[in-house]
Amino acid sequence: MSKISVEQGFTMLAKLGEHIDWDSLTTEQVQVGVREAPRAGVEATVFIRNGFRVLINDFFRETGEVSIQIPALPRPTLAGLREKYSWIRKEDSIELDTSPTESVTLVLGTVLLPDELRIDGIEYELRRTSLAGRMFGYQQLEWLVEHQDEHPVLKALLGKIYIDGCGLVVVRADGRRRFPCLDRGGGRWCLRWDWVGGDLARNGRLAVSGKK
């Protein structure tokens, strides 16, 4: 698959701009787009991959295994992440972080349909766009690792499921994109990193904040 050129990217943006009904939009609405550019850019990427069609369906459904209150936590800095994970690229390596920073309740769920066993990474990324701003990131998963002994229900799920925190995406030095996840490490939950193009299986869960 060939990499698009900068010229191709700007050409496409210019063509889209020609056909946006700017007169129907308010200054406030456009300012939201400026403020939410990182999240909007990710959703626009999925929009393009989906054949320039808007995804209407909300595929997320709760699986109901656990509910844990997590305190307000700041998003990680690049310097802090690279202290622990030197494989993260030195510059511009936090591609996305829309993880919540307020106090939240952990909800586990899936974007698989009831009769599906697995979906590929492209479809997985597409289906979770409706969860932008709710998906847990590094700080919530790190907290769960540190406090797992206080939550027997979470410990009981060890080895039965894995838990993705797709609210944060970082870039490796080789250009591959990864997000944090929780999986079994011996007899405990541990934080690992999965690649963005990976499949979602029946034993996979998305960690998100419960709706208020």
Domain for residue 116, yes or no? yes
Query: How far is the C-alpha of 116 from the C-alpha of 143, rounded, in Å?
Result: 31
Mean pLDDT of 130-143: 95
Domain for residue 160, yes or no? yes
Q: pTM of the entire structure? A: 0.75
The pLDDT assigned to 39 comes to 65
Domain for residue 97, yes or no? yes
At 145-168, the pLDDT tens digits run: 999 999 999 999 999 999 999 999
- Bridge partners, residue 207, by sequence: 108
Residue ranges making up the domain that contains 170:
61-209
For residue 204, give the nearest of 117, 92, 96 by alpha carbon. 117
Query: How far is the C-alpha of 20 from the C-alpha of 116, rounded, in Å?
Result: 37
pLDDT band for position 1 (50/70/90)? Answer: very low
DSSP strand pairing (168-171 vs 118-119): unpaired
Considering its fold, how many domains does the chain have in total? Answer: 1
Domain for residue 2, yes or no? no
Question: Is the pLDDT higher at 123 or at 40?
Answer: 123
Domain for residue 41, yes or no? no
For residue 181, give the nearest of 172, 41, 173, 198 by alpha carbon. 198
